[in-house]
Amino acid sequence: FFLEGMEHFQMQLNPVYTRTVADPLWGLKMTGKEGSNALGVFVARDEVTNLIVPGSQGSWSTQLDQPVTDAALRYRMDLASASTAGFVVTAREGDGYENLVGGVDGNLRFTPSDRLQVQVLGSRTEYPDAEVFADEPLGEFEGMAYDAELNHDSSTFDWWVAYRQIDDGYRSDMGYRPQTDFRQTRGGWSHA
């Protein structure tokens, strides 16, 4: 159920990771592509709420003993020159618990050798019990996540630079985000 059509949900920051749905009571899914438009939607009712609670030095996992409704919507449009643009929205909701994530992404090919991938996501979260989440903010909190990578691939010389920033308050409970509160710049090159 979850694996078929998952290529529609694959993105750099992984806002959709179907293994977070641990014990589904029911689920509905639709994926497909028509012309230059691709769509992926799923909704599931889970009997338990598995959570990865990230921090700057790592993460810990916990489970809320309550059902949760999971939903994800992904739309992507093919553009000229092998480029794409799209958006994603995810939601998890339970008793006193809510996590909403939304954002945009693009894979832009400027020339046959040059490509820019970019994704920006924002989240709003509220956890139900301050005792379970002692290190988490009380009440509703928000955060942002940014990812960009520029690649140049030619027959003789390749290089890439990438930047990723995940705010302390960013949570992607339907995705896989084991670390927050960091900025990272990377790069590399090779010569043929």
Q: pLDDT tens-digit profile of 78-90?
A: 998 789 999 999 9
| Number of Cα atoms under 13 Å in the Cβ half of residue 53 | 15
Quick check: 123 and 146 in contact, CB under 8 A?
Answer: no
pLDDT number for residue 170: 96
Tokens representing 148 are 């960009």
Q: How far is CA 31 from the centre of its chain?
A: 17
Answer left, alpha or beta for residue 153, where phi above 0 means left and psi between -120 and 50 means alpha.
beta
pLDDT above 70: residue 116:
yes
- Mean pLDDT taken over the chain: 90
pTM score of the predicted model? 0.90
pLDDT number for residue 183: 97
Query: Which amino acid is residue 161, in one-letter code?
Result: V
